A = this chain, B = another copy of it.
Amino acid sequence: MAESWSFLDTFDPNFRPLVVIELAKGTKEETIDWFTKRIVDKKANGGAQLLIKPLVTENGNENIYLVGASHLRLLLGAETVGLVKECNDNSMRTFTYSSRKTFKDFADDNHNFLTMAEGQYIIKHELENLRAKDEKMIPGYPQAKLYPGKSIVRRLLTSGVLVQIFPLHDREELKKLRHSWYGQVKVGYQPLDEIRCYFGETVALYFGFLEYFTFALIPMAVIGIPYYVFAWEDYDKYVMFATFNLLWSTVILEVWKRICAIMTYRWGTLLMKRQFEEPRPGFHGVLGINPVTGREEPVYSSIKRQIRIYLVSLPFVCLCLYFSLYVMMIYFDLEQWALDYHEENESNFSSLMLFVPSIIYAVVIEIMNRIYRYAAEFLTSWENHRLESSYQNHLVLKVLVFNFLNCFASLFYIAFVLFDMKLLRQSLATLLITSQILNQFAESLLPYWLQKRHKKRMKKRMCSLKTDVDLSLVEQVNLEKEMGTYFGTFDDYLELFLQFGYVSLFSCVYPLAAVFAVLNNITEIYSDALKMCRVYKRPFAEPTANIGVWQLAFETMSVISVVTNCILIGMSPQVNALFPDSKMDLILTVALVEHLLLAIKFIMAFVIPDKPRDIQIKLAQLEFESLEALKQQVRATDMYNSEK
């Protein structure tokens, strides 16, 4: 394969390409020279001290570069990013180069001590931390301003010189992973540790949550089936089911925190220190002094941002919510029309027609969700948040509120305004199933098919991916650079969140929802796995210790579902029959039960510890050790001073 690269220098002959950098066609020579020099330059000179090689294809150099690093460089980088690894005594510790011998599986010649994903994460971190020194602009691009400390890669990306940076797949590893993940037909857990090694913690945690959530839904599904099979209509049975559901959803969310802690402790991310957050790539402003770092960097007035949020974004979101309600009213008109039509000309066709409005509405909801998603991304980006985390929080909030209303408003309307339980059940079923089918299609099958067609047309002469025989590196890079980019787990979590809403909000009316959710999630695991392995570019690993804001979102949903279920039960004729004389007593009883359930939920959330005892002990051990080390240090000073 060596003949396909030109050797830039006399580096390490074991050069293993980890990351691909694609520059724009026609990038000036001086820019390329300067950029590659900065990448290979020594740390002491402000470089990244990485290895870089151009990828030379038969068409000549296409401005594609392969980046790697020496083994030593990666180990030092692992220390910089604060990687946590397992020691020989089975404890997890922050890796340092000086203590490298104490780590499990470490050997100076073991190049697999760091996984490929870790190596790629380290290279990404080092590239992003390549900072301008005294350059005032990117050489060759006077409009692309630089100032001391500005991340070069981010400026190159925003000025369009750098098209993309992405990590390479490891075809051997991927094949193994695919086989153990979805290659064989078997019932069992996903290979989460292998997924984590290949795709990083964020992706692995999503699949872990998906799997956990599916298992957690099984009891609900099992209890729900007889309600459908025997057509149970006794409301005391429904009350039992709903009560079980409400307490169960609290338990599963609390237990997830514990399971998450166990997983991320094993992966080392639970202990990983948060890195200092840099401004996000899109952030812009007048050059000023950052009060925290004292460095020169763009500063954007917080008041201006507040104005944009409250005077533009908030009204826009409200308008969208109003529009969504308007569409809902149209749906009800359609529904009424279909009902009238069915009554006038009763036939097989007309009874099929009854489902049409719901299906159309489900499709419209999905489309609106997707359009709104783009608008929300545009607006949040226009709000010009300095930190990625703040951007994400505002985006999630916007999207969640709209999606919640868009998906559930019609159900709330049917339940609490029309009081039509039959229609509620039917709408719920239609919405749930249609949205599941649409999602599976739009998320994985469609891109997979597009990808395949594209591949066939573009690279006729190349071996198709399906046969999995050896591809040359050039071919692999050219193939992967055309693949779609995986934009993170946001949409996947959102889908689960809405599903959780369908299952829990009206669980006492439609117990079968959990069954559909379980079935969907089983195929979801496979289609998501396919998507990760086949459709998208390999994403950079992203260390994470929990599912972040989604935990809060799921917990809020479970609180709302207590309220909705209590009201639904209170409205049922069977419960009404228990209080023949006084509606008031009924409502008071329902309110009392609701408050009790909420109190129990909060007490349970408070009482169940977020981390299992053994993880707590291990964390306490580490804390104790660091305190002891500090004391030893102080003691040494003490001794020194007392001997003086």
Q: How far is the CA of A617 from the CA of B293 in the complex (A)?
A: 10
Q: Is B292 in contact with A617, judged by CB distance below 8 angstroms? A: yes
Chain B residues, CB < 8 A from A44? 638-639, 642
Q: Is B617 in contact with A76, judged by CB distance below 8 angstroms? A: no
Q: How far is the CA of A98 from the CA of B634 in the complex (A)?
A: 10
Q: Quick check: which of A435-443, A536-544, A581-589 contacts chain B, the rest being far away? A: A581-589
Q: How far is the CA of A276 from the CA of B630 in the complex (A)?
A: 12
In-complex Cβ contact of A42 among B617, B620, B621, B642 (8 A):
B642
* CB-based nearest B residue for A129: B631
Q: Is B634 in contact with A80, judged by CB distance below 8 angstroms? A: yes
In-complex Cβ contact of A275 among B273, B621, B627, B634 (8 A):
B627
Q: How far is the CA of A291 from the CA of B617 in the complex (A)?
A: 7
**Listed residue (A44, A583, A617, A634) with the most chain B CB atoms within 10 angstroms of its CB:** A634
Q: How far is the CA of A642 from the CA of B97 in the complex (A)?
A: 13
Q: Is B639 in contact with A43, judged by CB distance below 8 angstroms? A: yes
Chain B residues, CB < 8 A from A642? 42-44, 49
Chain B residues, CB < 8 A from A33? none
A414 in contact (CB, < 8 A): no
Given A617-B292, A623-B276, also A76-B637 (CB < 8 A): yes
A635 in contact (CB, < 8 A): yes
Q: Is A635 in contact with B43, judged by CB distance below 8 angstroms? A: yes
Q: How far is the CA of A633 from the CA of B621 in the complex (A)?
A: 25
Chain B residues, CB < 8 A from A276? 623-624, 627
* CB-based nearest B residue for A97: B637
> Which residues between 569 and 624 of chain A lie within 8 Å of chain B, taking CB atoms?
583-584, 587-588, 591, 595, 617, 620-621, 623-624
Q: How far is the CA of A639 from the CA of B42 in the complex (A)?
A: 8
Chain B residues, CB < 8 A from A10? none
A79 in contact (CB, < 8 A): yes
Given A97-B641, A587-B584, A591-B587, also A76-B291 (CB < 8 A): no
Q: How far is the CA of A638 from the CA of B45 in the complex (A)?
A: 12
* CB-based nearest B residue for A79: B634
Q: How far is the CA of A276 from the CA of B595 in the complex (A)?
A: 39
Chain B residues, CB < 8 A from A72? 641
Chain B residues, CB < 8 A from A545? none
A479 in contact (CB, < 8 A): no
> Which residues between 55 and 92 of chain A lie within 8 Å of chain B, taking CB atoms?
72, 76, 79-80
Q: Is B624 in contact with A293, judged by CB distance below 8 angstroms? A: yes
Q: Is A76 in contact with B627, judged by CB distance below 8 angstroms? A: no
* CB-based nearest B residue for A623: B276
Chain B residues, CB < 8 A from A583? 583-584
Q: Is B76 in contact with A641, judged by CB distance below 8 angstroms? A: yes
Q: How far is the CA of A634 from the CA of B79 in the complex (A)?
A: 7
Q: Is A292 in contact with B620, judged by CB distance below 8 angstroms? A: yes
Q: How far is the CA of A276 from the CA of B587 in the complex (A)?
A: 51
Chain B residues, CB < 8 A from A641? 72, 76, 97
Q: How far is the CA of A597 from the CA of B631 in the complex (A)?
A: 50
In-complex Cβ contact of A624 among B97, B292, B634 (8 A):
B292
Name the distance in Å between A487's Cβ and chain B's nearest Cβ. Answer: 27
A563 in contact (CB, < 8 A): yes
Chain B residues, CB < 8 A from A98? 637
Query: What are 30 A-B pairs at a CB distance below 8 A?
Result: A42-B639, A42-B642, A43-B635, A43-B639, A44-B639, A49-B638, A72-B641, A76-B634, A76-B638, A76-B641, A79-B634, A80-B631, A80-B634, A97-B637, A97-B641, A98-B637, A273-B627, A276-B624, A276-B627, A291-B617, A291-B621, A292-B617, A292-B621, A292-B624, A293-B621, A563-B595, A584-B587, A587-B587, A587-B588, A587-B591
**Residues of chain A at the chain B interface (Cβ within 8 Å):** 42-44, 49, 72, 76, 79-80, 97-98, 273, 275-276, 291-293, 563, 583-584, 587-588, 591, 595, 617, 620-621, 623-624, 627, 631, 634-635, 637-639, 641-642
Known: A80-B631, A97-B637, A587-B591. 11 other contacts (CB 8 A): A43-B635, A44-B642, A49-B638, A49-B642, A276-B624, A276-B627, A291-B617, A291-B621, A292-B620, A293-B624, A563-B595
Please name the 8 residue pairs, one residue from A and one from B, whose CB atoms are nearest each other, closest first. A292-B620, A43-B638, A587-B587, A583-B584, A276-B627, A44-B639, A291-B617, A292-B621
